[in-house]
Structure 1
């Protein structure tokens, strides 16, 4: 039986571990970039973009 794990979930877990361990290196930067790249290809991309746009608009109105 094969178990498949989406890459964004795998990179998310690795990134969470690296952040919790307070490890800052080139490897963790690559993991963070890869996590963002694979997250952008999921259905979560549109709500994240909308949230970001709304936050920018709210900050510019202050």
Structure 2
């Protein structure tokens, strides 16, 4: 749960700066979609949370 809250804050902060700088790039779309999934906790949020947890675990094991 702590990882999800941190990612929501991170995605929100990045999205804020991307929108403020008027950057309409694929990375901005990915950031907005990620922020929306984590924030709304839709049915797709669980697989995204699992993928994120797995990626964080994999990175920390390097």
TM-score bucket (shorter structure): 0.5 to 0.7
**2:22 alignment partner, SS class:** coil
Aligned partners of 1:37 and 1:28: how far apart in 2?
Answer: 14
TM-score (norm 1): 0.56
RMSD: 1.1
Aligned partners of 2:29 and 2:11: how far apart in 1?
Answer: 11
Q: How does 1:15-30 map to 2 (within 5 A)?
A: 15-30=15-30
Provide structure 1 residue ranges, at least 5 long, that are not aligned to the other structure: 42-62
Structure of larger gyration radius: 1
Q: Which residue of structure 1 aligns with residue 38 of structure 2?
A: 38
Deviation at 1:33, TM superposition (A): 0.1
How many residues of Structure 1 are paired with residues of Structure 2 in the alignment? 37
